[in-house]
Amino acid sequence: MGTHDYLSLWVPNKLYKLGTKMFIYPGYQRNFVKLQKQSSRKRDDPNYEKYAKWVVVVSQDRINQLGWREGIDLTDEIKGDELHIKPIDKSIVSRNNEVMLYEEFKKPIKNLLGRYPGGLTWSQIRDKLNYTQKFPNNKWVRKLEKDIDLNRVQKGGETIWLLEHNTLFTIGYEGYNIEDFIKKLKDSNIQQLIDTRELALSRKNGFSKGILSQELKKAGILYKHIPDLGSPKEIRHQLHQDWDYKRFFNEYKEHIKDPDVLGNISDIEGRAKRKKTVLLCFEKDYKTCHRSIIAEELLKRGWKVNHL
């Protein structure tokens, strides 16, 4: 072949009819990409390899075809023995950044309002957390209402931010050791535990009132024992004789009709509005525990109940 000879390729008929011609000249590399090694040090420098980096050189034609511009952010992915390089999806980066910023906004506010049960104005929150924005992001505020039970109320012409929870939790310590039990509460962001046993004693290490309250205090969780919410001794002993749960629950339902017991349930409501609260008893399965009846009463009063 002479210097101007070329190799012809077969072209599909539909392209030929459009006047398409395709030639490849000898030595022409259609997808030319070169891998180069670069370093800020000279080759004889002992640190040459330490400061080396690999650069992929792509032809200008390819860049033009892709519509890429200098300075765009790229990401790479290895698939088998291939390296795939593509631009970063800016919309995903933007969404991820927003999520990260929202989380950084949410946690301090949640912790701060947890220390001020009476609530704070936005100006007070801003000053205490050294925030610079004059007004909060409305989108984030609406998310806080769902995520941390944020409630905003008008008092004296001002908007007060406070945490007003609408969900109560229950848990039985059966099957737990004290370390795993505390971890479960912390993982669930529990702030307050209300002990519903008549006698807060246990043969399980760590679950009698004294040591349990100490361990909870170390974890930053409040402890409150309300003996009147426990199942009375007589119906508890009867259950251990006949295992008639239907009878047991019916008798406990009668017990909680007592004005003092109902008053204690109202006390739980007041406490639970300000701190994420769990009701404690022994049984792992709430369906075999009197705390399920307390939960039913709270459901009637408009609360949501979640059994851990």
| DSSP secondary structure code for residue 109 in this structure | H
Contact (CB, 8 A) for 212 and 223:
yes
pLDDT, one tens digit per residue, over 133-156 is: 788 888 888 888 888 878 888 888
Structure tokens that stand for 193 in this block: 């535990």
80 within some domain? yes
- At residue 68, the pLDDT reads 75
Domain boundary among 25, 60, 88: 88
Tell me: do 148 and 247 sit in the same domain: no
Tell me: do 155 and 176 sit in the same domain: no
Helix, strand counts (H, E) of the chain: 11, 13
Q: What is the CATH number of the domain that holds 116?
A: 1.10.10
2 within some domain? no
Tell me: do 269 and 172 sit in the same domain: yes
Tell me: do 148 and 224 sit in the same domain: no
13 within some domain? yes
Return d(Cα 305, Cα 181) in angstroms, integer: 19
Reading the chain (308 residues) residue by residue, the pLDDT tens digits are 444 443 334 444 444 444 444 343 344 445 567 788 887 778 888 888 877 887 888 877 777 767 777 777 777 778 777 887 877 655 544 455 555 678 888 888 988 887 787 789 999 998 998 887 788 888 888 888 888 878 888 888 899 998 777 789 999 999 999 999 999 998 888 889 999 999 888 888 999 999 999 999 999 999 999 999 988 888 888 888 889 889 998 998 989 888 988 999 999 988 888 788 999 999 999 999 999 999 999 999 888 898 98
Tell me: do 297 and 245 sit in the same domain: yes
Tell me: do 207 and 299 sit in the same domain: yes
Q: Tell me what percent of the residues of the chain surpass a pLDDT of 90.
A: 24
Provide the b/e sequence for 241-255 (b: ≥16 CB within 10 Å).
eeeeeeebbebbeeb
Tell me: do 145 and 108 sit in the same domain: yes
Tell me: do 137 and 173 sit in the same domain: no
Q: Which amino acid is at 4?
A: H
54 within some domain? yes
Contact (CB, 8 A) for 152 and 160:
yes
Provide the b/e sequence for 167-201 (b: ≥16 CB within 10 Å).
ebbbbbbeebebeebbeebeeeebbbbbbbbbebe
Domain boundary among 105, 132, 163: 163
Does pTM surpass 0.85? Answer: no
- At residue 32, the pLDDT reads 65
- At residue 182, the pLDDT reads 94
Tell me: do 217 and 127 sit in the same domain: no
Contact (CB, 8 A) for 261 and 229:
yes
Overall number of domains in the chain = 3
pLDDT, one tens digit per residue, over 272-304 is: 887 889 999 999 999 999 999 999 999 998 888
Tell me: do 135 and 84 sit in the same domain: no
Provide the greatest CA pair distance for the chain: 111
- At residue 29, the pLDDT reads 44
Distance of CA 15 to the CA centre of its chain: 55
61 within some domain? yes
Tell me: do 64 and 11 sit in the same domain: yes
User: 265-269, long-range: CB within 8 Å, 24+ apart, which pairs?
Assistant: 265/229, 265/294, 265/297, 265/298, 265/301, 267/226, 268/168, 268/194, 268/226, 268/294, 268/298, 269/298, 269/301, 269/303
Domain boundary among 67, 88, 109: 88
| Domain range enclosing 228 | 167-307
Tell me: do 265 and 302 sit in the same domain: yes
Q: What is the CATH number of the domain that holds 252?
A: 3.90.190
1 within some domain? no
- At residue 302, the pLDDT reads 87
Structure tokens that stand for 12 in this block: 């599909």
Please, is 212 exposed, middle or buried when counting C-beta atoms within 10 Å of its C-beta (0-12, 13-18, 19+)? buried
What does the radius of gyration of the chain's CA atoms come to, in whole angstroms? 34
Structure tokens that stand for 52 in this block: 């080396």
